[in-house]
């Protein structure tokens, strides 16, 4: 496993990490989560991503219980959580990045995760109703109170990130240092184009999500929805449309010979493509089995095979996205 600096910070993240989103609690109980996290950790992954709203807090609880069983030294791994959507259907407790919510919600996350601090704390989405200045101060205060070590944004516009950095610099506050954007072969332009000044001029880091486009880029949906897959989960039936989109499936089929040529699985090929981008600090993978983790964690072996010619051939397939 290689480690990359989180932008210009001194923090090193494994270039492949593991997220909990749909998997923990829905597909993996505590014991299975222990196995998944151990497989990633044994392969060198040091970063585990979570969010307050994943399975309404249950995902944090499962990860917290798994960490307790695993008993790893706290310094040997990083965990994150993300705040915005909230757990309670009240004003000031949902869809907000206001000061009250950010300073109170973090305590619930820490309790569920069984830790006194998270390493990375994200604003899970932008909040157009709270001044960015209020959010920047609250995130700074969470760091000052020792509840988080670094903070960042997820799916914010580049202009808003630049504004947050400017406010923090003006008041000598802890700046946001990392964005968590979607990045995969289908959804790449915002990350690859719009954020360039944020990465290049401000040394922002990135932890990217859904690298396999929910599993589609592993090729597993090429012949329908396999039993037990994410696409078969009743509670997530809203994902089915994306996972059975004929145009996307046709694009995935065209990648198969390229992956085969380099001796990689489609999942490894698609993950290696993400890793090729130097602005990526860590690709957050998702997995419902140890076998998937073992396969995915080997994808870095193929990054050097993505030369200009191959990148062009890939772009020709995804020209319409």
Q: Rounding to the nearest 10 degrees, give the CA dihedral for residues 16, 18, 22, 24.
A: 160
- The interface mask with ligand NDP, positions 25-54, x = CB under 6 A, is --x---------------------x-----
Which of 45, 118, 177, 214 touches ligand NDP (CB under 6 A)?
214
* CA dist., res. 266 & res. 272, Å (int): 10
Would you list the DSSP string of 90-124?
STTSSS---HHHHHHHHHHHHHHHT-S-EEEEEE-
User: Which range of residues in 36-44, 83-91, 171-179, 211-219 is near ligand NDP by CB under 6 A?
Assistant: 211-219
Strands 78-83 and 118-123: parallel
**By C-beta, is 177 or 267 nearer to ligand NDP?**
267
* b/e sequence 118-130, b meaning 16+ C-beta within 10 Å: bbbbbbbbbbeeb
Which of 83, 167, 185, 212 touches ligand NDP (CB under 6 A)?
212
**By C-beta, is 176 or 215 nearer to ligand NDP?**
215
Which of 14, 23, 81, 135 touches ligand NDP (CB under 6 A)?
23
Instruction: Give the CA angle between residues 173, 123, 33 to the nearest 5°.
Output: 125
Strands 205-208 and 78-83: unpaired
**Residue 192 to residues 143, 157, 204, 211, 281, Cα–Cα distance (Å):** 29, 13, 13, 14, 13
Q: Which residues contact 204 (CB under 8 A, 6 or more apart)?
A: 7, 161, 176, 177, 178, 179, 195, 198
Which of 209, 269, 273, 302 touches ligand NDP (CB under 6 A)?
209
User: Which range of residues in 37-45, 187-195, 209-217, 244-252 is near ligand NDP by CB under 6 A?
Assistant: 209-217
Binding to ligand NDP by residue 7, rule CB under 6 A? no
Q: Which of 299, 296, 286 is nearest to 33 (CA)?
A: 286
The catalytic site residues sit at 54
Q: How far is the CB of 45 from ligand NDP (least distance, A)?
A: 12
Q: Which of 217, 221, 222 is nearest to 232 (CA)?
A: 221
Residues 93-152 that bind ligand NDP (CB under 6 A): none
* CA dist., res. 126 & res. 106, Å (int): 17
Residues 244-303 that bind ligand NDP (CB under 6 A): 267, 284-288, 292, 295-296
Which of 153, 218, 281, 282 touches ligand NDP (CB under 6 A)?
218
**By C-beta, is 13 or 212 nearer to ligand NDP?**
212
**By C-beta, is 280 or 284 nearer to ligand NDP?**
284
Q: How far is the CB of 289 from ligand NDP (least distance, A)?
A: 6
Q: How far is the CB of 172 from ligand NDP (least distance, A)?
A: 28
Q: How far is the CB of 309 from ligand NDP (least distance, A)?
A: 26
Binding to ligand NDP by residue 213, rule CB under 6 A? yes
Q: Which residues contact 197 (CB under 8 A, 6 or more apart)?
A: 158, 162
DSSP 139: H
Which of 7, 11, 19, 153 touches ligand NDP (CB under 6 A)?
19
Binding to ligand NDP by residue 21, rule CB under 6 A? yes
| Residues at the interface with ligand NDP (CB under 6 A) | 19-21, 23, 27, 49, 154-155, 180, 209-215, 218, 220, 229-230, 267, 284-288, 292, 295-296
């Amino acid at each position: 496993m290689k480690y990359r600096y989180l932008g210009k910070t001194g923090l090193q993240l494994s270039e492949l990490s593991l997220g909990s989103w749909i998997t923990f609690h829905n597909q993996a109980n505590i014991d299975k989560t222990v196995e998944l996290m151990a497989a990633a950790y044994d392969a060198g992954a040091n970063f585990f991503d979570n969010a307050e709203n994943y399975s309404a807090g249950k995902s944090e609880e499962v990860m917290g219980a798994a960490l307790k069983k695993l008993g790893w030294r706290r310094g040997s791994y990083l965990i994150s959580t993300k705040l915005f959507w909230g757990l309670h259907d009240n004003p000031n407790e949902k869809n907000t990045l206001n000061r009250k919510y950010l300073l109170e919600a973090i305590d619930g996350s820490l309790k569920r995760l069984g830790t006194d601090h998270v390493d990375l704390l994200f604003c899970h989405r932008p909040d157009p109703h709270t001044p960015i200045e209020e959010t920047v101060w609250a995130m700074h205060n969470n760091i000052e109170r020792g509840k988080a070590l670094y903070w960042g944004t997820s799916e914010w516009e580049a202009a808003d990130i630049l504004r947050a950095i400017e406010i923090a610099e003006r008041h000598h506050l802890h700046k946001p240092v990392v964005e968590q954007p979607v990045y995969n072969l289908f959804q790449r332009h915002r990350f690859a184009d719009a954020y360039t000044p944020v990465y290049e001029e401000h040394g922002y880091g990135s932890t990217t999500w859904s690298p396999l486009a929910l599993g589609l880029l592993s090729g597993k949906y090429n012949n329908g929805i396999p039993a037990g897959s994410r696409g078969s989960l009743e509670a997530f039936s809203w994902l089915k449309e994306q996972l059975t989109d004929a145009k996307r499936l046709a694009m995935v089929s065209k990648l198969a010979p390229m992956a085969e040529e380099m001796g990689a699985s489609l999942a490894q090929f698609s993950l290696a493509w993400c890793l090729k981008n130097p602005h990526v600090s860590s690709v957050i993978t998702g997995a419902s089995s140890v076998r998937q983790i073992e396969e995915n964690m080997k994808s870095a072996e193929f990054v050097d095979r993505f030369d200009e010619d191959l990148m062009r051939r890939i772009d020709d397939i995804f020209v319409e996205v």
